[in-house]
Amino acid sequence: MARVVIGLSGGVDSSVAAYLLKQQGHEVTGLFMINWHDTTGTLEGDCPWHDDRVFAELVAKKLDIALHVVDLSADYRTRVVDYMFSEYGKGRTPNPDVLCNREIKFDVFLREALKLGADFVATGHYCRKAEERLPDGRTVYKLLAGADPNKDQSYFLCQLSQEQLRYAMFPVGELLKPEVRRIAAEQGLATARRKDSQGICFVGKVDLPVFLQQKLASKKGNIHEILPSWPKYRNGLPAGQPAQNGTLAPAQAAGDTAPAGQPVPEAEPTDGQLEALAAPWRYTVRDGKKIGEHNGAHFYTIGQRKGLGIGGRRESLFILATDTAQNVVYVGEGDAHPGLWRPALHIAPGEIHWVNPARALSPGQSARFSVRIRYRQPLQGARLFVRDEGAYLVFDTPQRGITPGQFAAWYDGDELIGSGVIAE
């Protein structure tokens, strides 16, 4: 059996993961992370990690395992929170949970666990791991979706490397959430009825503008409404034809029926067509009418509908685009507004990450995958095209709220093959 250090967070998932590891005969040690001290902008509690630590201690005592505490707040601030501030300042919307896993839980925390003599590091994530031996003798570690479709967290781990996966264990990945709750209750674990954490990883639920104002100043600007009749919605993309609903559907290549993950060489679109399909909608103040004011374009994200303070509409207003340089926010009325929908996205060359490097595509190749562009989004059919200029994901149907700074992750069945940061 192995020496396993588990990240005990004070939640039910990691608690049951620790119990299962002990049942399997492993030598288990708990490690609790302190990652955030500042409570600026938080909506609940003064220092939520204090409560988390108490619950972690109760679980460790019940399971009779040692519990160590490590303060990683300096690394968390520089590698996750400062990145968040930087991205929001550029008008992009980062995903701190994906960053937290890549930069903290499976990097800084992993190194701390190795200092304690760990053979493996375990977490309470709802995902699974598999291994494959390649013909050349190399071992590839695969990241698989969790067995519970309602709790699958593989998306949050879409930036992990082979080295990080090599050490990872996911003891609850084969279980459904109700089973985890049941085990915790049967074993008398203090976390059995504890609510799942929400909000920013290790920070909690926040008032985002207040939180961001630690680094990003408020700045009055204008809100402009773009009408669904804006001419470029009908004529904007040369590679597609207007669909019945007024959005642009991507051109489907002939013979595009290959299994997921298999290169599809025929009927490849030109680089220019891919660039046009993936281009975001771009507006100027002349394209719409001013209908209100905001406190800073960097506080808003594409697809957002709350926080505008403009009422009296038949349908909600949604953010279509933000211009942080000019400090303008563009909005449209209704969930079906064509400005919310796009047929494709672009990933810059340096932002393409292959979780399974044996499945990597070379420039000039393309393949079909199932894709999600946010956590819990149902998987969407798409073709991934790799070019010298980066990667392009062209979806079978237009997607709502493609957001720069977020991660697109592509799957073949249950396996998460790769991911990348959406460029624009």
The domain ranges of the chain are: 3-211, 217-422
CATH fold of 217-422: Elongation Factor Tu (Ef-tu); domain 3 (2.40.30)
Asked whether the beta carbons of 316 and 305 are under 8 A apart, the reply is yes
CATH architecture, domain 3-211: 3-Layer(aba) Sandwich (3.40)
Asked whether the beta carbons of 133 and 193 are under 8 A apart, the reply is no
Distances 221 to 109, 212, 322, 323, 379 between C-alpha atoms, Å: 41, 17, 11, 10, 37
Express each pLDDT in 237-247 by its tens digit: 433 333 333 33
Express each pLDDT in 121-144 by its tens digit: 999 999 999 999 999 999 999 999
* pLDDT attached to residue 208: 63
* pLDDT attached to residue 203: 56
Active site residue 201: yes
Beta bridge partners of 366: 385
Q: Which residue has the tokens 């040369």?
A: 238
Active site residue 127: no
26: Cβ contacts below 8 Å, ≥ 6 apart: 1, 2, 3, 4
Instruction: Supply the pTM of this predicted model.
Output: 0.88
* pLDDT attached to residue 215: 73
* pLDDT attached to residue 256: 43
Domains 3-211 and 217-422 share a fold: no
For every one of its 424 residues, what pLDDT tens digit does the chain have, with 9 covering 90 and above?
899 999 999 999 999 999 999 999 999 999 999 887 665 545 455 456 778 899 999 999 999 999 999 999 899 889 988 888 888 888 898 888 999 999 999 999 999 999 999 999 999 999 999 999 999 999 999 999 999 999 999 999 999 999 999 999 999 999 999 999 999 999 999 999 998 876 555 555 556 666 777 777 889 999 999 999 999 997 654 333 333 333 333 434 333 444 566 544 446 799 999 999 999 999 999 999 999 999 999 989 999 998 888 988 999 999 999 999 999 999 999 999 999 999 999 999 999 999 999 999 999 999 999 999 999 999 999 999 999 999 999 999 999 999 999 999 999 999 999 999 999 8
| Catalytically annotated residue among 47, 127, 158, 201 | 201
Got the DSSP string for 370-413?
Answer: EEESSTTPPPEEEEEEEETTEEEEEEEEEEE---TTSEEEEEET
- Beta strands 66-71; 27-34: pairing state: parallel
Asked whether the beta carbons of 42 and 205 are under 8 A apart, the reply is yes
* pLDDT attached to residue 20: 98
